[in-house]
Amino acid sequence: MLEHQNTKPEPITKDDASWFQSLFKVCFDREELWSQHLGDHKYEAFHISKQAFIFTYTVDDSTDLLTIGVHLAQRKKGLATYLLKWVIAKAPEGQKFFLDVECQNIAAIQLYKKIGFEFVSIRKGYYPQLSAPALDAFVMTYQKLLS
């Protein structure tokens, strides 16, 4: 992750919708839904070199981590960890973070636990599948401590 320490994530704007949609498709093998919210001040999206991104929704002291994606060729290089830590670091003290993660997504669950997220609940049948039963999701939370 040291290779990212001097890299500052850049905002994703409405002008970036085309490449963002392509990157999302590469990361998740489905169409993205988030670019329609770019420009709404409650939503924020950041990228690193158009290879990794994070998308959040914030109201007051609560931030929902909507999605994190890393291009297949750039995985296991610390980009997701770096982006997540960066978003938390720039948030005000006391900020609460929430996310849901597919119960079978072991890599993401390990990342969130490493950062300090804790399990809150399970959402049964939360992630629809094309030709299989919907997958459950873990709901996790983290609160940035006051110093």
| CATH assignment of the domain containing 107 | 3.40.630.30
Helix (H) or strand (E) holding 26: helix 17-28
Full domain range(s) for residue 127: 2-143
* Spacing of C-alpha 141 from chain mean position: 13
pLDDT the model gives residue 3? 53
Q: Which residues of 22-56 are buried (b: 16+ CB within 10 A; e: fewer)?
A: ebbeebeeeebebbeebeeeebbbbbbeebbbbbb
pLDDT the model gives residue 4? 53
Count the domains in the chain. 1
Q: Judge whether 46 and 82 are in contact, CB under 8 Å.
A: no
Q: Judge whether 80 and 94 are in contact, CB under 8 Å.
A: no
Give the residues of the chain that fall short of pLDDT 50: 1-2
pTM of the model: 0.87
